[in-house]
Amino acid sequence: MIRITSPSRLHLTLIDMNASMGRIDGGAGISLESPHIVISAEMSEDTEVTGNSLLKERVEAAVGKVLPEGEGIRMVIEEDMYAHVGLGSGTQASLSAAAAVNELYGLGMSVRDLAIAVGRGGTSGIGVASFEAGGFIVDGGHRFSEKGSFSPSSASRADPAPVIFRHDLPDWDIVLAVPDTQGAHDAKEVDIFRKVCPIPLNEVQEVSHIILMKMMPSIVENDIEAFGHAINHIQSLGFKRHEVQLQHPAVRDVMSLMQESGAYGAGMSSFGPAVYGVVDSREDAAYIMEDVQEYLDRTIGGTVMVTRANNRGAVIRKV
């Protein structure tokens, strides 16, 4: 039997939803220690997936795409993570299931091979790279001629985007709030891409400048103040600006509250509603967590936790 623990991820922003330079997408993100998905699996004559999980159907679908004909597997979803809140649960569930089959049956597939097989990473490469190696990640998007449209990963058949920068995130605390509402997904997500793209080129250029000349250097130099400034700045730019504007007002309020309570930077992950704040002390994290939880309790409800970056990727162990 094997057990796989996979990280969640923050998708900080898409970079180029204009495509005039011939490429599309691109993104920056951070792998998280928690929440995470834990799956155990063993070879079996039949195929069975158990566990009280919203991700069960996705896990079953991924198993079906890589399991050798005539073989079986018994899989248990031991720990789940929130679905449709901006933490990348779909990619992690699919890759965890496929990786379990790959490991047990010695298929010799790379993480990229598995992602292609289960149809993940067609817009953002952050989730696939998080599973593979964790850390802070910037991906280079896709050739527009190959992808052909502005679309989310759920509606894209493009291969996973190449990683062009990866670095361990410094030992910063991350306050993570998950309000009791869901972000856009499936048909609604596709419709948003169709309506707001292409993004004006000057906004794409500004996002690119911030990532290249502020966000990436701040990671290398362990400069949380510069990193936080970059996070705050990108919330009102490019595709991220539209993602934030579409949220329940409480989601935007949580971002502002984190900033006012001492976070160096606060933003929304992917299509939300998950909001994160970056701090450099556990005391500050506890203070912000208390403020945000109190606000959510008297408005729309939700959960707040403190986590850190995952700088190693998914863990596969024999048990």
Express each pLDDT in 229-253 by its tens digit: 999 999 999 999 999 999 999 999 9
β pairing state of 2-16 and 23-44: antiparallel
Q: Mean pLDDT across the stretch 6-33?
A: 97
Domain boundaries, the chain: 2-318
Q: Which CATH architecture has domain 2-318?
A: 2-Layer Sandwich (3.30)
**Average pLDDT of the chain, as a whole number:** 94
Counting residues of the chain whose pLDDT is more than 70, the rounded percentage is: 98
Cα distance between residue 44 and residue 190, in whole Å: 38
22: left (phi over 0), alpha (psi -120 to 50) or beta: left
Within 67-185, residue ranges assigned H as helices are: 89-104, 111-118, 126-133, 144-147
Handedness of CA 177, 10, 127, 316 (dihedral sign): negative
The DSSP secondary-structure symbol of 242 reads: H
* Closest C-alpha among 114, 106, 156 to residue 6: 114
- With bands split at pLDDT 50, 70 and 90, how would you rate the model's confidence at 185? low
Q: Mean pLDDT across the stretch 254-266?
A: 97
Quote the pTM value.
0.94
pLDDT tens per residue, range 151-167 = 876 667 788 999 999 99
What does the pLDDT read at residue 182? Answer: 75
Q: Tokens for 116?
A: 């292609």
Cα distance between residue 77 and residue 315, in whole Å: 15
pLDDT tens per residue, range 74-119 = 999 999 998 889 999 999 999 999 999 999 999 999 999 999 999 9
